Structures are given as C-alpha cells and as structure tokens.
Amino acid sequence: MAATQRRNRQIMMTPAERDTFLAGQHTCRVATVSADGRPHVSPLWYIWDGTSLWLYSLTRSRRWEQLLRDPRLAVVVDTGEAYGELRGVELSGAAVPVGEAPRTGEPCPELELPESLFARKYFGSDSDSLPHDGRHAWLRLTPETVVSWDLGKLTAS
C-alpha cells in the first residue's frame, strides 16, 4: 500500500482524480540509478491499472539494465504550462519484471489486462492484442509512495 501524502493536502488529487489523470496521460518520465549513483531519466509509455503502473521497456536499454541491478525507481506523469494548469503524480517503489524478457507472447495471465489496456491506448486496437517484437518486456511498479498535485485547486472557487 502506498504511503499517504502528508504535505500539500490542499492540492492533492483524490484517488479517483489520480486514476482518471493517470489513465488519460500517455508519457511518463522514469528515473533510475546507475551503478555509480548517477540518476538517469527517460520517457516511456505506460499503463495504470488502478493499483500498479506497467512499463513496456526495451530490454537492451540503460533503464532495463539499471532496474535489473537496482529495482528502485521514481516515475513522474505531469501536464500543464501555466501555473494553475500544473497537475501531476509521482510514484516510487521497486520495479518487478513480469513475463518473459524479452516478451514474445508466451501465455502469462498476469499480463492479459496490461497488454489489452496498452494495445487499446496506444494502438487503438479493438482486438486487445499487443504485437510482440521480441525487444520489449514488462515492468510493474506497485508504488510504495504516491504524491500528487493539481494547482488548479488553489484557484478553484
């Protein structure tokens, strides 16, 4: 279960607002840590299932290599340009690989929902099937900490 946000309760999203926001956005920024302690941030498409964030990552990427060595990560999804439009969610915890790596489409009941959601969100697929290219694999982040903000709440009447 994710830790409760203690600061800035005035701008914190409700769980329903957070779920709607995460479902509606397309790109997150994933922060990992290299062996020498340097941060690495990269953009990635994702799926939020209401409990976990699912990342479909290249297995030959720096991100994948770093997460196999040290599974700690932080992910930010945000939007807005003017101050009152800024909204976002930061999730952090440990990444867990799910299914075979790289993913070739072997049956994996745990991946049925994220792959269906991903196919519909990014490929507009009505068949709910995700094409597997043998280069990507799934990471699941069930966050230990979730922090959210919606600065529009400061100006709402």
On whether residue 130 sits in a domain, the answer given is: yes
Alpha-carbon gap, residue 98 to 110, rounded angstroms: 8
| CATH assignment at residue 32 | 2.30.110.10
> Hey, what amino acid is at 141?
L
pLDDT in tens, 34-86: 999 999 999 999 999 999 999 999 999 999 999 999 999 999 999 999 998 99
Q: Write down the residue that tokens 């709402």 correspond to.
A: 156
| Predicted local distance difference test score (pLDDT) of residue 155 | 81
Confidence band (pLDDT; 50, 70, 90) for 26?
A: very high
Tally of structural domains, the chain: 1
On whether residue 44 sits in a domain, the answer given is: yes
Domain that holds residue 24: 15-155
On whether residue 8 sits in a domain, the answer given is: no
pLDDT in tens, 75-129: 999 999 999 899 999 999 999 999 999 999 899 999 999 999 999 999 886 666 7
Q: Does residue 156 contact residue 123 with C-beta atoms inside 8 Å?
A: no
Mean pLDDT along residues 18-24: 96
| Predicted local distance difference test score (pLDDT) of residue 129 | 73
On whether residue 81 sits in a domain, the answer given is: yes
Quote the mean pLDDT of the chain: 91
Mean pLDDT along residues 16-39: 95
| DSSP conformation class of 131 | P
On whether residue 107 sits in a domain, the answer given is: yes
Dihedral through CA 5, CA 9, CA 11, CA 15, nearest 10? 50
On whether residue 66 sits in a domain, the answer given is: yes
Mean pLDDT along residues 12-23: 96
pLDDT at 157 over 60: no
55, β-bridge pairs: 46, 139
Q: Which two tokens stand for residue 57?
A: 């990552």
On whether residue 6 sits in a domain, the answer given is: no
pLDDT at 3 over 80: no
